[in-house]
Amino acid sequence: AQSVAQPEDQVNVAEGNPLTVKCTYSVSGNPYLFWYVQYPNRGLQFLLKYITGDNLVKGSYGFEAEFNKSQTSFHLKKPSALVSDSALYFCAVRDDTGFQKLVFGTGTRLLVSP
């Protein structure tokens, strides 16, 4: 079965510094990976996805993610964090049944301090 792991419950970073939110995956077959962000009292917003192609994926709001097949990782990155990036981040993988059933990680809370 497909699964993703987010090893950090919380990541703290100072504004202006680079940020990384970690995600590792376990899949049978090709991985279809997604990152979503959730602000308080809001739904999930799509940031970026990896299906095939370049290992460095660029997404919304200046975020990018690096797909690493050998390390089975898909870490989310941003060169310069903003206070407004503080939110809950979910990594997800598409289920291997062929349906677009997403399997989510447990989430990582990002806190960016001024």
Partner 1 sequence: DTEVTQTPKHLVMGMTNKKSLKCEQHMGHRAMYWYKQKAKKPPELMFVYSYEKLSINESVPSRFSPECPNSSLLNLHLHALQPEDSALYLCASSPGDRSNQPQHFGDGTRLSIL
The verdict on 90 binding partner 1 (CB under 8 A) reads yes
DSSP state for residue 63 in the 8-state scheme: -
Q: Which of 15, 20, 24, 49 binds partner 1 (CB under 8 A)?
A: 49
Q: Which of 44, 62, 82, 96 binds partner 1 (CB under 8 A)?
A: 44
Q: How far is the CB of 89 from partner 1 (least distance, A)?
A: 11
Q: Which of 46, 61, 84, 111 binds partner 1 (CB under 8 A)?
A: 46
Neighbouring residues of 82: CB distance < 8 A, sequence distance ≥ 6: 15, 112
Please list the alpha-helical segments (H only) found in 1-114: none
User: Beta-strand (E) ranges in the chain?
Assistant: 3-5, 10-14, 19-21, 24-26, 33-38, 44-50, 56-58, 64-68, 73-78, 87-94, 102-104, 108-113
Q: How far is the CB of 53 from partner 1 (least distance, A)?
A: 12
The verdict on 107 binding partner 1 (CB under 8 A) reads yes
Interacting positions 10-39 with partner 1 (CB under 8 A): 32, 34, 36
